[in-house]
Amino acid sequence: MRKIILGILGIALIVLAVFVSYKLVQSNKRARPQPIKVVKTVFTDTVTNTKVPIYISANGSLTAVRRIELFSEVQGVFRPGKVLFRPGQEYKSGQTLIRIDDSEYYASVQSAKSNLYNALAAIMPDLRLDFPEVYPKWQSYLDSFDLKRSTPKLPEMTSEKENYFLTGRGIVSNYFSVKNLEQRLSKYRIAAPFTGVLTQALVTEGTLIRNGQKLGEFIDPTQYELEVAISKSFSGLLRTGQPVTLQSLDKTLEFTGIVSRVNASIDPATQTISAFVKVEGEELKEGMYLEAVLRAREEPSAIEIDRNLISDRNEIFIVRDSILDLIPVKPVFFGEKTAVITEVPDGEIILSKPLPGAYPGMLVRIFEENKTATEN
């Protein structure tokens, strides 16, 4: 009897434990919360197609329109002058930039001129006897001959006999030899071809200059040129004389230039065409980096929007009865931050700012600025 009673109690305890555990599990179940339906507020614009000017922006660095690289064609020691040959030094047109010691070469030129003078003096008696009609002009030439000045041009020969006589005596060959030496003597002095500034100096006074050595760079600081690369699709829209707005990268300086040249060939690697913008200004310096804004053309019926609003499939979101929808558009130009598009009907309500997570059929609420301002 005792065993039977204990067995019944054990079974009862097991049944009770199962029942209690079942109740505990049942009581642990919580009702799933209903999701809160969020209606996002969007910023919109109403489409009005108008004429939209298309501006092309490009960057580049300034270079002087007139700039020369100075090279030596002769050899010698750089002689000091009144003005030091240093970067930033200003020179007027015709002023000496560099003078190379020419004393040795000058002596050889004078010797050749003296030989020409002696040769002319030696033939004067024969000219007086054989060619009395041309004697006066050659005597006049000999009287005007000055060893300290450039050799004057030979008198014009009026007959073949006169020509043969003077050529046979070596007068013509001696004359051109002297002129050749004088021409080379002039290369010992390098003069400024225009009023400008020395931007680079690679030699100093006392330096031994060699033939073909680069000496420096010289520019005209009054006129500069900016080379910009433009897409080939706009190559036919660029015209010489077009006004161009130029700005420094920090937007603190602004200049106005004109398109001076447009390259006739397209770069095969980048498929761009080079345009050159001429600009003047006291604050400009060679090497300054500027941004050029060129007015390429005008789209007759288009709108300009944030380029982030256009999808990869060339579609934009519109709002119809508080629901988002997509419509196809035709982009005609992409700028740095905006894009010009067409084929959007007038009166359509489009998003003016990107909406993260937007999808067709999404319920939205249009932001009303006037209403919000009144409530505030």
Q: Same domain, yes or no, for 198 and 82?
A: yes
Q: Compute φ and ψ for 48, nearest 5 degrees.
A: -135, 105
Residue 112 DSSP code? H
Integer CA distances (angstroms), 374 to 39, 42, 370, in order: 21, 19, 6
Residue 371 belongs to a domain with what CATH number?
2.40.420.20
The predicted pLDDT at position 336 comes to: 76
Integer CA distances (angstroms), 26 to 17, 22, 34, 280, in order: 14, 6, 21, 87
**Residue tagged 């005209």 (tokens):** 220
The predicted pLDDT at position 76 comes to: 93
Look up the domain containing 141 and give its range. Answer: 104-186
Q: Which of 252, 322, 314 is nearest to 283 (CA)?
A: 252
Q: Same domain, yes or no, for 110 and 155?
A: yes
Between helices 103-130 and 160-168, what is the axis angle to 10°? 130
Q: End of a domain among 266, 297, 328?
A: 297
The predicted pLDDT at position 12 comes to: 79
Q: Same domain, yes or no, for 215 and 76?
A: yes
Domain-embedded: residue 7: no
Tokens of 19: 């029942």
Q: End of a domain among 245, 265, 297?
A: 297
Domain-embedded: residue 6: no
Domain-embedded: residue 289: yes
pLDDT (tens digit per residue) in 132-170: 888 999 999 999 998 888 999 999 888 888 888 888 889
Q: Same domain, yes or no, for 148 and 202?
A: no
The predicted pLDDT at position 110 comes to: 93
Domain-embedded: residue 22: no
Q: Same domain, yes or no, for 146 and 116?
A: yes
Q: End of a domain among 297, 312, 331?
A: 297
Domain-embedded: residue 28: no
Q: Which of 52, 68, 105, 97 is nearest to 300 (CA)?
A: 52
**Residue tagged 């420096």 (tokens):** 216
155-186 residues labelled b (16+ CB within 10 A) or e (exposed): eebeeeebeebbeebebeebbeebbebeeebe
Q: Same domain, yes or no, for 197 and 230?
A: no
Residue 283 DSSP code? T
Domain-embedded: residue 110: yes
Residue 233 belongs to a domain with what CATH number?
2.40.30.170
d(CA 181, CA 296): 56
Q: Same domain, yes or no, for 81 and 117?
A: no
> What is the chain's pLDDT, residue by residue, as a tens digit (376 residues)?
777 777 777 787 887 887 777 777 666 655 556 656 678 888 899 999 999 888 888 888 999 999 999 999 999 999 998 889 999 999 999 999 999 999 999 999 999 999 999 999 999 998 888 888 889 999 999 999 988 889 999 998 888 888 888 888 899 999 999 999 999 999 999 999 999 999 999 999 999 999 999 999 999 999 999 988 887 777 766 778 888 889 888 888 889 999 888 888 888 888 888 889 999 988 898 989 998 887 777 888 999 999 899 988 899 999 988 889 999 999 888 877 888 999 899 999 999 898 888 888 888 888 876 444 334 4
CA 15, 21, 26 angle in degrees (round to 5)? 125
- Residue 318, beta-bridge partner list: 325, 350
Q: Compute φ and ψ for 201, nearest 5 degrees.
A: -130, 115
Q: Which residue type does 185 have?
A: L
d(CA 192, CA 313): 60
Number of domains in the chain: 4
What is the end-to-end Cα distance of the chain in Å, rounded?
Answer: 86
Integer CA distances (angstroms), 104 to 107, 143, 204, 265, 268, in order: 5, 27, 21, 51, 54
Domain-embedded: residue 2: no
Q: Same domain, yes or no, for 305 and 357?
A: yes
Q: Same domain, yes or no, for 312 and 284?
A: no
Q: Which residue type does 53 have?
A: P
Integer CA distances (angstroms), 17 to 7, 13, 25, 29, 252, in order: 15, 6, 12, 19, 84
Q: Same domain, yes or no, for 59 and 76?
A: no
Q: Which residue type does 308 have?
A: N
Tokens of 361: 């059929």
Q: Same domain, yes or no, for 198 and 87?
A: yes
Tokens of 214: 């680069």
Domain-embedded: residue 167: yes
